[in-house]
Each structure stands twice: as C-alpha cells, then as structure tokens.
Amino acid sequence: MFRLLHLADLHLGYHVALPSPLKEEVCRERNGILKKAVDLALDPRMAIDMVVIAGDLFDNHRPEATFVEETIRELARLEAAGIRVVTVPGNHDEITYNDAVYRREAGRWPGILVNAPMPASVAEFTIKGYTCRLVAMAYTGGVTRIDGPLKDFPPAGEGEISLAVFHGSLDWDGGERSLPLDGAALAAAGYDYIALGHIHRGGERRLGKTLACYAGMVAGRGFADPGTGSWTIVTLGDGPARVEGIPAPTRPWQVITVDVTGMGGMEELEAEIKENLTADAITQVRLVGHVGFELDLEVLRVRLEHICSYLELADETEGWAPEVLDKLAAEPTIRGLFVRRLREKLSHAASPQEAETVNRALMYGLAALKGGGGSCLR
C-alpha cells in the first residue's frame, strides 16, 4: 500500500477579518499551514509517499512574492525527500491569467503542475511498485468547455491505481467560477480515489467502487468558514481506498449559540457562555430566543473576552419574553401604551416581514424608553 496527504483550499494569503494585532497573528498562522503539512508528510511515522493539492493553494492567482518563494521551497523539500507532489490550480488561484503564479513559475514548480484544460490522463508513475495514473485538469477560462456538469473522463486502466484530482463541485452547479462534475460519469470512469477541492467543510462520497473526498480547508478563515482542523490521509493499493482524518494544529473558529429564553439574568448568561468558551479559540457568541432581563453586551465582553483569543457577541434575540411584555402592557405609562399599540399592530401584521419590522420597532422603542417608571426593565 502507499499513502498520500490530500490537501485543498489552503487559501494562503487570505486576509482574515479580525482587529490588529490578532489579524496579523492569525494570518501568519494560516500561512504557516503549508509548512506544517510538509513537516507532517516528512514525518517517517506518517509514511506519506505523495502529496496532492486539489486547488486554491493560494487565495488569488497573483500571491505575494514571499508566499510564492516559501511555497516553492516547502514543496521542494517534499520532492527532495522522494515524496511526489501534485498541484492542481483552483478557481481562486486560477491558471487562466497571463500573470497567474502557475504560469509565471511553471518552469520551477516542484513536482507535477497540472495545466490540462479538460479532464485528461496527465501523468503515469510508479510508487512502491504500483503503477499509478493521474487524471486531472486545471479550469482555464475561455479554453475549458463547460455546458453542464463535466461527463467526459478518461477511464481507469487495468492493473493500475488511478487517482483523479479536481477542484470542482460534485453533482452541484455552484454557478460561475465553479466547475460542476457529474458523479455518475465519475463512477463509470472507475478511479480508485478522487481528491477534490472547492467545498471547504470537507466530506466523503462513494461513487460505485470509487471513493471521492473533499479534504476541506484545514485552517479556517472566518466564522462562516471555520476550517476542518484536520489533515486528510488516504491509503491506496491495499483494497479499496481509505481516508483517515488526523487532528491538525490550527486555531479554532468557534460559534456558540446561546438561547437566553427563560434565563433569570446576566449572571446566569455569563456562566452559561463561560462554560462553552475555549482558551485559544476565535469565538462568536450568538444570543437567541426571548429576553427576560436587560442584556448588556459590553459588560459580558469585559468579563469574558480575556478567556479566549477573540470574542464577538451578536445579539440575535427576538425581543422580550411574552411575560415581560404582559407586565409592561399593564403599566399606566407611555411605555405601557407603546407596548399595547405595537402588540395591536403585531396582531394585524399582513406578512412575516411586517411582523418582523413591528417586532424590531418594539425592541428599539423599549430600549429608548427604558428608565421611565418602575418595572422589571430597570
């Protein structure tokens, strides 16, 4: 058997949306992920024979010169150690442009740099006595012909291990700048393993006897794109392809959703959040549900932000709990009148959008009126 490290969507050079100096620190960490991958591949205990990069190695087609030099140096360490490297351009680091990194550096790029504009058998080589065939393509604007999902794939040969690498979307047309791949046609082609890139959350799929897998983005770049935090290692040649995930040293992007409905006050909320915070994580706390007490996000921030490396608090609550509104509506005050009027409006709302607007007005209005008269809001 032989083993490969499947990488995709590292997006080196991406600028994360965080305040300085954490931003610079996290960017440095993210850009160091390739070196960590190479160190892992060179670790004899991992027994890696090949490294495959399935697109979007860089965040754009013209990365800064220092990233390019570092990347070439890192990939050259693999080649020097006899580990085969395959690089497939993606849609972010697209090969189409004349000044694309993969055109400018093609002459000295370590290993196999794929530039075939349509699915093709691009290389044949031997690893540990196995004959391997590599099928891949690099989406090239104006040259790659796409009218619907790609269906024309060269078939796997007899007595060889066939590995396909694509940066695309399997059975899903993601619109412009997405390369749709036909799952049934890939199943019919009969490859042993398909190394995919483009879908950052990762995931595996069986296509007949073929195992197709998105490695996913290892080091995340935002709360909506938090990264997998794991390396994808594939074993081939010893029965059907097998994939294993092993933990990668990355800083987690963590989203914690806390339902405040039924909570008695700030202390209870603080304790609940505290229990879920992770020391080195970049954290977003989403507060949802109906509030029965006055939320003070500033107080929460001051009390909790030292626990993790970054804390963002998002108030996504739907307004006051009905029992609070009942109490307010009974007040013989302007505020009581305001609540009664808006509740009346709410009961006649013609659409969910209108109800949402009235609900917002109720929240903002109550915030503006707070402090007027004795009530549970004080």
Nearest-angstrom CA–CA distance, 313 and 112:
46
Kind and range of the H or E run holding 282: strand 282-288
Nearest-angstrom CA–CA distance, 78 and 59:
22
Helix axes 334-347, 352-369, angle to 10 degrees: 170
Q: Of the two residues 19 and 175, which places its CB atom closer to Mn ion in the complex?
A: 175
* Tokens, residue 377: 């809001």
Nearest-angstrom CA–CA distance, 127 and 146:
33
Nearest-angstrom CA–CA distance, 234 and 242:
6
* Tokens, residue 97: 């442009």
Minimum distance, C-beta of residue 244 to Mn ion, in the bound complex (Å)? 22
Q: Of the two residues 160 and 225, which places its CB atom closer to Mn ion in the complex?
A: 225
Q: Of the two residues 56 and 94, which places its CB atom closer to Mn ion in the complex?
A: 56
Q: Of the two residues 212 and 256, which places its CB atom closer to Mn ion in the complex?
A: 212
Nearest-angstrom CA–CA distance, 156 and 177:
27
Minimum distance, C-beta of residue 69 to Mn ion, in the bound complex (Å)? 22
Residue whose C-alpha is closest to residue 7's, from 221, 195, 211, 236: 195
Q: Of the two residues 9 and 192, which places its CB atom closer to Mn ion in the complex?
A: 9
Q: Of the two residues 9 and 94, which places its CB atom closer to Mn ion in the complex?
A: 9
Minimum distance, C-beta of residue 250 to Mn ion, in the bound complex (Å)? 16
Chain contacts with Mn ion (rule: CB under 5 A)? 9, 56
Minimum distance, C-beta of residue 198 to Mn ion, in the bound complex (Å)? 6
Minimum distance, C-beta of residue 52 to Mn ion, in the bound complex (Å)? 15
DSSP secondary structure code for residue 157 in this structure = P
Minimum distance, C-beta of residue 227 to Mn ion, in the bound complex (Å)? 12
User: In this chain, which residue has its C-beta nearest to Mn ion?
Assistant: 56
